Amino acid sequence: MSIFRYTIAVFLLGLGFFQPLSHATYRFSTTESLPKLAIIIDDIGYNIPLGQRTVNIDAKLTLSVLPKTPGAVMLAKAGFASGKEIMLHAPMSNYNDFELGPGALTLDMNKQQFQAVLNDSIKSIPHIRGVNNHMGSELTTYKQQMQWVMETLAPHNLYFIDSLTNSNSVAFKVAKENGITSQKRDVFLDHLQDEKAIEAAFFKLIKRAQNNGFAIGIGHPYPETLNVLERLLPTISQQNVELVHVSSLLNFK
């Protein structure tokens, strides 16, 4: 190397333009966000003792409350006060002819009736941040009715979670088309009301969150489900996942 080139190289090295390879440093982020999961407990409102037991679980659960049920308002207020997020569990028609109860949304309603009932249900429950469907294996497959749902939610700035009670549901698709913040259920925790099965579903939900970065599970205030959640939720941090309210997960996405 000529004296001129050597002098230039030393000068640039002194200014920090070059770093010797033996001194190269690599920075790795240690602040990566943990995978997130949300657990929704549906059917809050009819059974007040089990609803209160759900409220008392010390975790960021999301409670989905059936409208006009005996414990709806009281449990929504108690849940909110205990740090839970509150949703409306909107009853929608199903293929099994199961009784829907107050606030039912059915195919025989015209648009005005349909939206009046849904608006009334929304206003009946304090502190709600979003809505998911109660049953709905029939109604969620109809685009027109799902359009009416999303048009009703928009002025209230509510999110929508498709409980996915029918694999042919169009609810999530229609929500996205209308600009409604939305997501789909990943795992039902208590399709079988057996503690071993519920525990297996719980870890399936955690695995889904670890693989995808987020996951949504839905359970019910069954004694078996609450037994599992009371036992396992205090240890969830050991799974390297974070339990969040549904709205936080949606913001995260």
pTM for this entry:
0.86
Q: Report the candidate in 129, 133, 115 with the shortest Cα–Cα distance to residue 158.
A: 129
Q: Residue 253: what pLDDT?
A: 52
Q: Which two tokens stand for residue 52?
A: 């209160």
Query: Does any domain span residue 234?
Result: yes
Q: Residue 97: what pLDDT?
A: 86
Domain, as residue range, for 103 = 36-252
Query: Does any domain span residue 208?
Result: yes
What's the CATH number where 42 sits?
3.20.20.370
Range of lowest pLDDT (19-28, 158-167, 220-229): 19-28
| 3-state SS record for the chain | CCHHHHHHHHHHHHCCCCCCHHHCCCCCCCCCCCCEEEEEEEEECCCHHHHHHHHCCCCCCEEEECCCCCCHHHHHHHHHHCCCEEEEEEEECCCCCCCCCCCCECCCCCHHHHHHHHHHHHHHCCCEEEEEEEECCCHHHCHHHHHHHHHHHHHHCCEEEECCCCCCCCHHHHHHHCCCCEEECCEECCCCCCHHHHHHHHHHHHHHHHHHCEEEEEECCCHHHHHHHHHHHHHHHHHCCEECCHHHHHHHC
- pLDDT mean across residues, the chain: 89
Query: Does any domain span residue 148?
Result: yes
Q: Residue 16: what pLDDT?
A: 44
Share of the chain above pLDDT 70, in %: 87
> Count of CB atoms within 10 A of residue 27's CB?
5
Query: Does any domain span residue 12?
Result: no
Query: Does any domain span residue 4?
Result: no
Is the pLDDT assigned to residue 229 strictly greater than 90? yes
Q: What is the pLDDT of residues 143-159, one digit of tens each?
A: 999 999 999 999 999 99
The CA-atom distances, in angstroms, between 142 and each of 55, 107, 108 are 34, 9, 12
Q: Residue 108: what pLDDT?
A: 96
Question: Which residues, 6 or more positions from 36, have their beta carbon under 8 angstroms from its beta carbon?
Answer: 209, 213, 214, 215, 241, 242, 243, 244, 248, 249, 252
Query: Does any domain span residue 29?
Result: no
Which tops the pLDDT comparison, 39 or 12?
A: 39
Q: What is the pLDDT of residues 67-126, one digit of tens each?
A: 999 999 999 999 999 999 999 999 999 999 899 999 999 999 999 999 999 999 999 999
Residue pair 116/147 in contact (Cβ under 8 Å)? The answer is no
| Confidence band of 252 (pLDDT split at 50, 70, 90) | low
Q: What is the pLDDT of residues 2-32, one digit of tens each?
A: 444 444 444 444 444 444 333 332 222 333 5
| Confidence band of 241 (pLDDT split at 50, 70, 90) | very high
Q: Which two tokens stand for residue 156?
A: 């209230």
What is the Cα–Cα distance from 182 to 67, expressed in whole angstroms? 21
Query: Does any domain span residue 142?
Result: yes
For residues 206-210, give the mean pLDDT.
Answer: 96
Q: Residue 33: what pLDDT?
A: 84
Range of lowest pLDDT (111-115, 132-136, 247-251): 247-251
Q: Residue 8: what pLDDT?
A: 43
Q: Which two tokens stand for residue 95?
A: 């293929």
Query: Does any domain span residue 24?
Result: no
The number of folded domains in the chain is 1
Question: CA angle at residue 142 from 101 to 137, to 5 degrees?
Answer: 45
